[in-house]
Chain A
Amino acid sequence: MFLNLSYRLRRLAPIGLAVVVLFAFGALVVLAQDAPAPLDVVNFELCSDFGGVTVDVFGDAGHNLKPYEFWADDFAQMGITVNIVDAPFNDVYSRLQTEFIAQSGAFDVVTFYPAYIGDFAGNGYLMPLDEFMGREPAAVWDPVQDDVLAPFRELYNKFGGETYALTIDGDVLVMMYRQDLFDNPDEQAAFQAQYGHELRPPETWDEWLEVGEFFTRDAGEMLAGETLEQPFYGLGEYGQRGFSYAWYLNRFASSGGIYFDENMNPLINTPEAAAGLQNMVDALQYAPPGVLGYGYDQLRDAFIQGQVAMVVQWTDVPKKAGDPTQGSVIAGRVGVGRVPGTLVGDSVVHRSMMPVGRVVGIAADSDQPEAAYCIAKYIAYNRSLEDVSSSLTGLDPYRMTHLEHPEAYTMFESEDAARAYLEGLQVALADGFPEIFIPGAAAYNDALDLQVNRALAGEVSPQEALDAVAAEWNNITDSLGRDRQVELWRQALESYRALGLIQ
């Protein structure tokens, strides 16, 4: 009985509130989004009119959902209204997993971090896309996957050889530093005097600590010839629960680590691994006091607001750091380089994690998969250059097309600067180290992140933390079925090798 009542109330509510909406509408018009200008560098045609359907799109809240607002007119032409459902950044897995298990049909297009593709596709929660992708005419249906950089295509989109998702954000970490500080002759001289060698952007994680220590200053001290009004810190780390593990894995991977051996025995607690974690723990003393609460935005802001000398960050941050309208006080003073590495033998091995990233898939229980696909393909291909080259979003390049059009990145002061940015990005990608993509990835990552975070917080030693991870990883593997996991892991190793990501 109350069911009927509430549904009736629901239908009435909009009418009752119409007056309020009318007033609010004025504000809405004023706030109409500014969107990037269409560049029309790729050829595409829109799907034919669906005659007024609503596609429910799930994604993590914030600027990466902006493209759905940018191109709403085109969606309207296809007869599609997009309804956005957003979740906090750290909640994507649990919210989606909850819905996939509930099968309430709440979402058509789902945006997620590709590490979960094994979990989602492996459980049959996603619809295979190959059939849509092969339809004619190609201008309507083909997302031109050959244009997508290999790791973002092979690892992000596929499970068991089939395509289940399309990349919309290609992530890799880079190091960013304050070029002006490293170029300052006084600082160079002081560094030379203190450490006996030249000041340069750190090549290794040991140098990361050294430079971090050097640039950490109290308020009142001098930095590059100016008296500091506020304390200044040498470096920043991602310390928040959720993705702090990736900042540790940069160190782990460069020392030659890989998650498991061929038989799924964890290799995460080797002495080299513990040394890597110790390095991250040590680094915290040169970071701002709140660093364990730093997620993407706090770490970004600490850097672009001039509080720290260097950070390792995602590749969209240089775009924001170069753009004073995004709050940057250091525009034009930013250097971008390879993530520091580890001295192995007599050469330095650099490894950049490729954490997060975003792909769109279609829920297996979607009642309008075709319209959903049209939206997914539009975002993944038709206007993707416009989206990744805009500082309104946090999306990062993932297609050849994106790398070939430096002129699109207008937030840089010159096309040369944009070109340098894109080249740096390619260097980082060449250093790229993959996440775990097999089923259970979310659980493996979460177990790792918890323990890394505990070590950072000083609750346990690095070795204890990593031993606990190894034990927990074995539990996860067992509960998912060891034989199947071993088989999938071997396939994964093969594809990592084929892509040249590991030896």
Chain B
Amino acid sequence: MNSKPSLTNRVLVHGVLLFALAVFMFPVLWMFLTSFKDSNTEFNRFPPILFPAEWKVSNYTDALTDKGGLRAFGDSLVIATSTAVICTFFGAMTAYSLARFRTGGQDFAFWILSTRMFPPVASALPLFLIFRELRLLDTYSVLIVANTVFNLPFATWLLKGFIEDLPAELEESARVDGCSYFRAFLQITLPLITPGLVVTALFSFIFTWNEFMFALLLTRNKVQPITTVLPTLVGGHETLWGQIAALGMIAIIPGTLLALFLQRYIVRGLTLGAVKG
């Protein structure tokens, strides 16, 4: 805007934005407050109370130990990390091929993307039956594979954009110096797209961390990601709101950190690289 906006205009803009922000933050805030309330005495109250009389940290310790939150946190960590590593590495290779050699042309690239459009139920059904035959249900590997289905196409597209942004001359000059394609890829390309790799890995991590349906259907006992532990706190007989909120607060840590510290790449990550932001 070249003309300086009037003061009233600026106040109005900021006012509306702050109001909207308050609306968008309120659910998080409310869950935060609930996570310190006593499920029995402070939840079933009308009018609802804003602050707990006593900040019950025991909701957190309870949810983590008694209710298996800690184990679930570990399980989610293993699954999300493995998926992120696999997707980023193989995604980078594929992306390199697509970007530098135009392998398979536009159609192949679109086809890879379209696998992300699968309704998850449609993938869950055959994966369930196949992994049943392999006797691999209820293991880390089944969830890693299932999440890779969705994140590999995403990683490929995202990284393809990063590689395309990179001038090809750099690799070519390395090739002239006698580097093999693979070495050029490893030593020149990958270091130069480090931000891209980090962003891809983090997004694959978050998407896997947040995933629910596969976790629900493909695991039950030996592996229990955090998203499947939350619903078990809603018994038919009592709902442990304090602990649900506590575990919920813990579950949103990775996503919140990403939002706060990686804002620069979020647009790109969320749009599969289509919008550079």
Interface positions of A (Cβ within 8 A of B): 2-3, 5-7, 9-10, 13-14, 17, 20-21, 24-25, 27-28, 30-31, 56, 58, 60-64, 83, 85-91, 95, 98-99, 101-104, 106-107, 230, 295-297, 301, 305, 327, 394
Contact = CB atoms under 8 A, between A and B. Distances in A.
Interface in B85-101: 85-86
Interface residues of B, number: 43
A103 B74 CA distance: 25
A104 B137 contact: yes
Nearest to B148: A2
Nearest to B222: A106
B66 A88 contact: no
A48 B100 CA distance: 69
A297 B70 contact: no
B65 A28 contact: yes
Nearest to A92: B236
B58 interface: yes
Given A63-B235, A106-B221, 6 more contacts: A9-B82, A27-B62, A88-B235, A102-B128, A297-B237, A297-B238
A17 B85 CA distance: 22
A397 B37 CA distance: 34
B82 A10 contact: no
B204 to A, nearest CB: 14
A2 B141 contact: yes
Contact of B140 (A10, A20, A64, A98): A10
Contacts of A107: 220-221
B115 interface: no
Interface in B124-149: 128, 132, 135, 137-141, 144
Interface stretch (B27-35, B158-166, B167-175, B226-234): B226-234
Contacts of A83: 221
A295 B236 contact: yes
A230 B140 contact: no
A104 B138 contact: yes
Contacts of A95: 220
A6 B234 contact: no
Contact of A27 (B58, B86, B232, B234): B58
24 contacts: A2-B85, A3-B139, A3-B140, A3-B141, A6-B79, A10-B74, A10-B78, A14-B74, A17-B74, A20-B64, A21-B70, A27-B58, A28-B61, A61-B232, A63-B237, A83-B221, A86-B235, A89-B234, A89-B236, A91-B231, A98-B128, A104-B132, A104-B137, A297-B239
Given A6-B78, A106-B222, A27 B65 contact: yes
A88 B141 contact: no
Interface in B221-272: 221-222, 224, 231-239
A230 B46 contact: yes
B132 A103 contact: yes
Contacts of B41: 327
A62 B234 CA distance: 8
Contact of B235 (A56, A62, A85, A103): A62
A301 B236 CA distance: 12
Contacts of B77: 13
Given A101-B132, A230-B46, A327-B40, A28 B66 contact: yes
Contacts of A230: 46
A449 B66 CA distance: 34
A117 B22 CA distance: 51
B113 interface: no
A101 B129 CA distance: 9
Interface in B194-229: 217, 220-222, 224
B62 A6 contact: no
B139 to A, nearest CB: 8
Contacts of B180: none
